[in-house]
Structure 1
Amino acid sequence: MNVLIIEDEDLTAERLEDLLKKYDPAIRVAAMLPSVRETVQWLQTHSPGHPDYPDLIFMDIHLEDDLCFRIFEQVNLSVPIIFTTAFDEYMIKAFRVNSIDYLLKPVSFEALAAAMQKYHSLKRQFSLTDLEALRQVMGQPRQEYKNRFLITVGTRLRTIETGEVAYFFSEEKITFLVTRDNQRLPLDFSLDKLATMLNPADFFRANRQFLVALPSIKNIHTYSSSKLKLELQPDPRTEVFISKEKVSTFKDWLDA
């Protein structure tokens, strides 16, 4: 069995190879590639039928030169993929390509073994040429997103529909919900928790302090060579930036 490891950290790639060998000594790592550019070049010269062509790919999301999703824009890749990453924000996007599992770093042997067992189970049920059937079996994880929030205002209880929310922000360890008509209401949820409860197609985690709804973005300004500045409606009374690390993801989100 040939495995391709796409990972920009040498020690992480080597550790992953060791875990694979521990799981099955017969596994052969065909190559370790650190970037989108080198991966595209390698795949263009190792097409299906080549003795090194992989049966399975382990792919990090943040590579040397870009996010791994750029690979799929340049080559036709039908190999099942197990994503490995330190971030969970790309899970839905990963399942839109050839993902059969999504492992958070540091990857444990138990997690890797479970992913490999899943791969072999799916392989037994489907020919790997029937990728669409494979993806349907895995399915994009079905998740019910939050539709409304119950808010306590003095002695009263009221509900706020998710569609009424302009953005959430954190200030002095308190999370606030801001409605489109500029009501500012405290919540018991952290921004990290809210990010898992809300539809990622509608809300984006701009930074550690802000989680914004798409309709609330009035304008986007280039602030520097590495940052974007958001103009929100209603005005949050503080500057809201998209950091360099999230600019590419933010643009993909806008263009989804």
Structure 2
Amino acid sequence: MSKLSAVIIEDEVPAARLLCAMVMRLRPEWTVTVLPGSVEDAVEWFSENKHPDILFLDIQLADGNSFDFLSAAQPSSVIIFTTAYDQYAVRAFSVNSIDYILKPVDEQRLSEAIAKYEALLDGSRWRPDDYMDTLLDTLQNKEKRYRNRFLISRPDRFWSLQVADIAYFYSENKVSFAVTKTGQEYVIDLSLNKLMEQLDPARFFRANRQMIVGIDSVVHAQPYFNGKITVTVQPPFKAKITVSEEKQTAFKLWLNF
């Protein structure tokens, strides 16, 4: 793959630095520029500079959201969204020209998104003329169907587990578990990454790599060292649940949404 240009627009400095380091590690031949995470600054930069080949765009910016920026700047770049809290219900887009990654960014997931972008450059599916119109239409589409039940199988029977009955999800030894509000545990045949793509973000939050908490399960949260937050849930979890400093703002917004 030839040398390409990438821009990162992210309003959290630590997250921007981390994403930049990951991109440069995965594609050292690329030119990567990090912009301030505000709509005003980003629009000004795009009006004065050549648009990059690929844009890593945070959905929630310091003074607005990605839709405000896209409408004003009309970037010609391919967009990969990054989001800590999918507040605007960005879907797993049906057009294969865009992708989105939940924060904190997992390097393997980032690598997959970049590979998906590079595959577009080699094929015939890339339609730059109608790309931005399609993207804006997708972002404005507020309709999103979220999963509301899981099929639970046993050797002798199977039944539906309602999402409304689940307090939280956790991962252990690469196996995902759902814990109900009554404390029962069930194996779920989906990774936490896949679960977050299917769960209502107003109801569930990815606290860390091992944990997705439900809004009804949160008893309280309190400050922890290194800027982290600890979360107490009901029914109690067997380990300490922490939210990183980078996700602290998103977590507070989620609790108050």
Please tell me the TM-score bracket, short chain as reference.
Answer: 0.5 to 0.7
Instruction: Show the counterpart of 1:22.
Output: none
Output the CA distance in 1 between the equivalents of 2:219 and 2:225.
Answer: 19
- Asked if residue 185 in structure 1 is aligned to residue 186 in structure 2, the reply is yes
Q: 1:242 to 1:121 in 2, by over 3 A?
A: same
Structure 2 residue corresponding to 1:15, chosen from 14, 20, 30: 30
Shift of 1:143: 5.1
Output the CA distance in 1 between the equivalents of 2:46 and 2:190.
Answer: 49
Correspondence list, 1:1-256, <5 A: 6-7=7-8, 9=20, 15=30, 33-36=33-36, 40-41=40-41, 43-44=43-44, 52=48, 58-61=54-57, 67=58, 69-73=60-64, 77=69, 78-81=72-75, 82-84=78-80, 93=88, 95=90, 102-103=98-99, 104-106=113-115, 108-112=117-121, 117-121=126-130, 135-136=136-137, 140=141, 144-152=145-153, 155-256=156-257
Q: 1:71 to 1:238 in 2, by over 3 A?
A: closer
Output the CA distance in 1 between the equivalents of 2:153 and 2:46.
Answer: 60
Classify the secondary structure of the residue corresponding to 1:253: helix
Shift of 1:166: 0.3
Instruction: Show the counterpart of 2:108.
Output: none
Q: Which amino acid aligns with 1:79?
A: A
Classify the secondary structure of the residue corresponding to 2:98: strand
Output the CA distance in 1 between the equivalents of 2:53 and 2:88.
Answer: 17
Aligned length: 217
Contact 2:179 2:185 in 1 (8 A): yes
Q: Which amino acid aligns with 1:149?
A: F
Q: 1:254 to 1:80 in 2, by over 3 A?
A: farther
Shift of 1:193: 3.0
Shift of 1:196: 2.7
Q: Which amino acid aligns with 1:198?
A: L
Shift of 1:241: 0.8
RMSD of aligned C-alpha atoms? 4.3
Contact 2:208 2:242 in 1 (8 A): yes
Shift of 1:184: 2.1
How many percent identity over aligned positions?
24
Contact 1:228 1:241 in 2 (8 A): yes
Contact 1:36 1:70 in 2 (8 A): no
Classify the secondary structure of the residue corresponding to 1:34: strand
Contact 2:43 2:73 in 1 (8 A): no
1:81-124 deviations in whole A, cap 9, x for unaligned?
54236x6867774959xxx953422564442577994331257x
Contact 1:178 1:185 in 2 (8 A): yes
Shift of 1:245: 3.6
Q: Which amino acid aligns with 2:194?
A: K
Identify unmatched segments of 5+ residues in structure 2: 9-15, 100-112
Contact 1:6 1:58 in 2 (8 A): yes
Contact 1:6 1:39 in 2 (8 A): no
Q: 1:148 to 1:43 in 2, by over 3 A?
A: closer
> TM-score, length-normalised on structure 1?
0.62
1:219-239 deviations in whole A, cap 9, x for unaligned?
111112421111111111221
Identify unmatched segments of 5+ residues in structure 1: 17-31, 62-66, 124-130
1:151-204 deviations in whole A, cap 9, x for unaligned?
245734332211111011123443321111222223333323322332233222
Shift of 1:250: 2.8
> TM-score, length-normalised on structure 2?
0.62
